[in-house]
Structure 1
Amino acid sequence: MVNYTLKATCETVHVGGFSCQLPPVLQIASGDRIDVETYTGYYIYSHAPAEFVTPELLDICQNLPPDRKVGPGPHLLTGPVYIQDALPGDILEIRLEAITPRLPIGFNAIRSGWGALPQEFPDPALRFIPLNLETQTAEFPPQSGIHLPLQPFFGILGVATPDDPHSSVPPGHYGGNIDNRELQAGSRVFLPVLVPGALFSIGDGHAAQGDGEVNVTAIETSMNGSIQLILHKHLNLTVPFAETPTDFVAMGFGETLDEAFAQALKNLIGFVEKLTGISAEEAYILCSLAASFRITQVVNSPTKGVHGLLPKAILPSVESWEAPFTTLNP
């Protein structure tokens, strides 16, 4: 195992999307660890206060090469990382060991025509929100006495696809802009490998977000992370799946919440059925009794997300929880 440091620079970040044509900025072996830097605010830096715009971010925003602009999305991503021996059909595990805001400030933006209620809130708005890194809280609105606990996570964890470059906005089977607030430090995320080397990218740091992310953004901020990337050759998975310290997390994506919910439920039923050996009907009932389904996000057009949480505490001890992935399909 080797430990790497991946700084965010004009040579190591890309903006707007994913592309299998991007050359990797780092090549690692399965099991290696990376201390990674990410920045955010590429399209709003000129409106930001000085404490938000570090010299490194300013250099990226003013000098990013044209070939690092690969899609129409607003997200600045660090990567891609090439994992040796990764081939389509394999599974990439991302162990999120540490996630920490880089700066004591973040922003929230309403974009005209976006969000859950675009007609009710049609005007764009940009707010910068101080982060108290000592108390791990943010007060919003200012002087309101409302203190939000910081629960940092990366909104985007994704791999490249063999398709043409595509936007970083919608999530999908490749991961991408999942915006799942459950994926905090201590979690593991599993993504299908779709191109040789996987070409993994990370970014879109969120200091705090509610389920749904209803006004389009969280408290967006630049973020540090420590991750371990592990390649699995014996698993079969076609959609993102995750494990937190307390729950198994099945995900679903669709153009409607109904479609996203149905996919998340089917994925969780299949997982429970194979993990425990109970029937599909019994797993369906168990999900009704014990699983909690939540709206991941409704704003990453055209794809909405739902995730289902199954508490690990209710399950019997099993030799290998990974066994279900040998047959899990959406």
Structure 2
Amino acid sequence: MTLLSPMPIPAQQSSKVAALNLAGEWIFEMDGDAQPQRVVLAFNGDTLRGAVYGQSFVVSLAANRVQFSVGDFRWRGTVRGDSLVGWLGIAPDSSRWTGVRFRPPAAPRAFKVDPSTFPRAYSGTTAPVLRIAAGDTVHTTTLDAGGWGRGAFGARGNKRSPGGNPLTGPFYVEGAVPGDVLVVTLHRVRLNRDWAFSGTSLVETAIDPSYATERQTPATPPDNKWTLDTVALQGRLTAPSPALRDFTVPLSPFLGVVATAASTEYAPSSRESGSYGGNMESARLREGTTIHLPVSTMGAQLYLGDGHAAQGSGELTGDAMETSLDVSFTVAIKRWGFAELTRAEDATDIMSIGVAGSLDAAMRRASSDMARWLTTDYGLTASDVALVMGFALQFDIPDVVPPGFGVTARIPKAALRTLVRPTRK
């Protein structure tokens, strides 16, 4: 038998192979900089190129070492499989940097998650229940605001968490970095039990002080339980007063909470809402809706919860028709989206959801974001925006329960279809 020795690879060819192996998407993180950078290394001809902080660079390769310059800063690193570790700076000062290659799965995946822990804050440091990627679909469940699951009311073992909007999640989305927008499409939001509970008095933020003092509290507290017909989608009080014995409510299940982690430094309570989404209480966050959430932490850290069977504007009773839900969703990443607040769209409308400490401030946030949306995505001038919003925009008030107030600015897609978009070159 004749043994053949491997032919040596010429240095030029070896360098080309190394460059091809490095080509792809990376996430760079630099000590002292809280903003990671998504970097795409592309091999073109005989050159490996990329860009970081908006500046282009050309990579020099020598064995497992890389080097490039960005302005006056020299970057040096060592390749370790799918990682880069090195130093950058202007001599003699330098700081550490790392790069991690992002490899998306070959095909979309589907997961079924039966949660066993239920956080009550939008934390960026809570261990994820699952790591997913763009295109993946998740089937899961949520508890109601009181911590009850899909079992019968009062059933042993059905109280799975303390109350206060226990959450399902977080779901870590591979490849999502701060500055991106996480796009969540709700494919299924369904009732999974036949009962709910609600508040029974108007919250004081929705009424005048005079009415708050003159209203009479019943000697016997009214029953707050609802019976849900999950087929006909009708709800009725389980033990109504004589006046409400024929009162029914059409059911339209939705998620009161859809959120990304607010930060790695602080974690708002799951009762709160803000630019990250949160406890928005919008009845439009239902099956078929797509939600656009700002990303503030690595992996976005997606949370869901606070299922409702129905709710009027404002969640005026403090607790809406609180229930548990079965939910299926898919995620995508809009890169470099840099959103300031939550947006949503369904078959009929686009929506900007403003949250603030007062209704007027929330309204200004929502209408300002809608104006920016029409400017950037539809190419409208400021006067075009004013005319479209002046005659097509509608405001909804999903939440008047402290600490945050919510206003949704909504424009029907029927009006948007009449707009002539600019031709993109």
CA distance in 1, matches of 2:389, 2:145: 39
1:196 Cα offset (Å) = 0.5
Alpha-carbon spacing, 1:178–1:41, altered in 2? closer, same or farther (3 Å) = closer
Alignment-derived partner of residue 38 in structure 1: 142
Alignment-derived partner of residue 6 in structure 1: 113
CA contact (8 A) 1:102 1:223 kept: yes
CA contact (8 A) 1:270 1:280 kept: no
CA contact (8 A) 2:115 2:129 kept: no
Q: TM-score, normalised by structure 2?
A: 0.66
Alpha-carbon spacing, 1:225–1:115, altered in 2? closer, same or farther (3 Å) = farther
Q: TM-score, normalised by structure 1?
A: 0.84
Paired amino acid for 1:210: G
The question of 1:146 aligning with 2:247 is answered yes
Alignment-derived partner of residue 274 in structure 1: 376
Note the alpha carbon deviations across 1:158-183, whole angstroms, 9 max, x for none.
Answer: 11122322211221011010111112
1:235 Cα offset (Å) = 2.4
The alignment covers a number of residue pairs equal to 304
Matches within 5 A, 1:41-190: 41-42=145-146, 51-54=152-155, 57-58=158-159, 60-61=160-161, 74-109=164-199, 116-117=206-207, 119-120=212-213, 127-140=224-237, 142=240, 144-162=245-263, 163-190=265-292
CA contact (8 A) 2:379 2:421 kept: no
CA contact (8 A) 1:155 1:204 kept: yes
Alignment-derived partner of residue 265 in structure 1: 367
CA contact (8 A) 1:108 1:126 kept: no
SS for the counterpart of 2:198 is: strand
Matches within 5 A, 1:187-202: 187-202=289-304
CA contact (8 A) 2:179 2:336 kept: no
Alpha-carbon spacing, 1:277–1:20, altered in 2? closer, same or farther (3 Å) = closer
* RCO higher in structure (CA 8 A, sep ≥6): 1
Give the structure with the higher percent strand. Answer: 2
CA distance in 2, matches of 1:232, 1:212: 30
Alpha-carbon spacing, 1:55–1:193, altered in 2? closer, same or farther (3 Å) = farther
CA distance in 2, matches of 1:126, 1:193: 41
Note the alpha carbon deviations across 1:108-135, whole angstroms, 9 max, x for none.
Answer: 0258976534835797876110101121
SS for the counterpart of 2:313 is: coil
Alignment-derived partner of residue 29 in structure 1: 133
Alpha-carbon spacing, 1:296–1:320, altered in 2? closer, same or farther (3 Å) = farther
1:279 Cα offset (Å) = 1.3
Query: Which of 217, 230, 239 matches 2:341?
Result: 239
CA distance in 1, matches of 2:367, 2:291: 18
The question of 1:304 aligning with 2:409 is answered no
Q: Which runs of 5+ in 2 are unaligned?
A: 1-107
Find the structure with the greater CA-based Rg: 2
CA contact (8 A) 1:115 1:216 kept: no
Alignment-derived partner of residue 213 in structure 1: 315
1:316 Cα offset (Å) = 3.1
SS for the counterpart of 1:283 is: helix
CA distance in 2, matches of 1:279, 1:258: 25
Alignment-derived partner of residue 287 in structure 1: 389
1:56 Cα offset (Å) = 5.2
Note the alpha carbon deviations across 1:198-254, whole angstroms, 9 max, x for none.
Answer: 111101001000111112111000111110011121423121000011000011111
CA contact (8 A) 2:203 2:317 kept: no
C-alpha RMSD of the superposition: 2.8
CA distance in 1, matches of 2:363, 2:341: 14
1:288 Cα offset (Å) = 1.5
1:294 Cα offset (Å) = 1.3
Alignment-derived partner of residue 50 in structure 2: none
Alpha-carbon spacing, 1:252–1:213, altered in 2? closer, same or farther (3 Å) = same
Alpha-carbon spacing, 1:316–1:36, altered in 2? closer, same or farther (3 Å) = same
Alpha-carbon spacing, 1:131–1:91, altered in 2? closer, same or farther (3 Å) = same
Note the alpha carbon deviations across 1:244-301, whole angstroms, 9 max, x for none.
Answer: 11000011111111101111111111112233322112212221101111112100x2
Moved more, 197-206 or 133-142: 133-142
Q: Percent identity?
A: 28
Q: Which runs of 5+ in 1 are unaligned?
A: 65-72, 324-330
CA distance in 1, matches of 2:408, 2:205: 19
Paired amino acid for 2:167: L
Alignment-derived partner of residue 356 in structure 2: 254
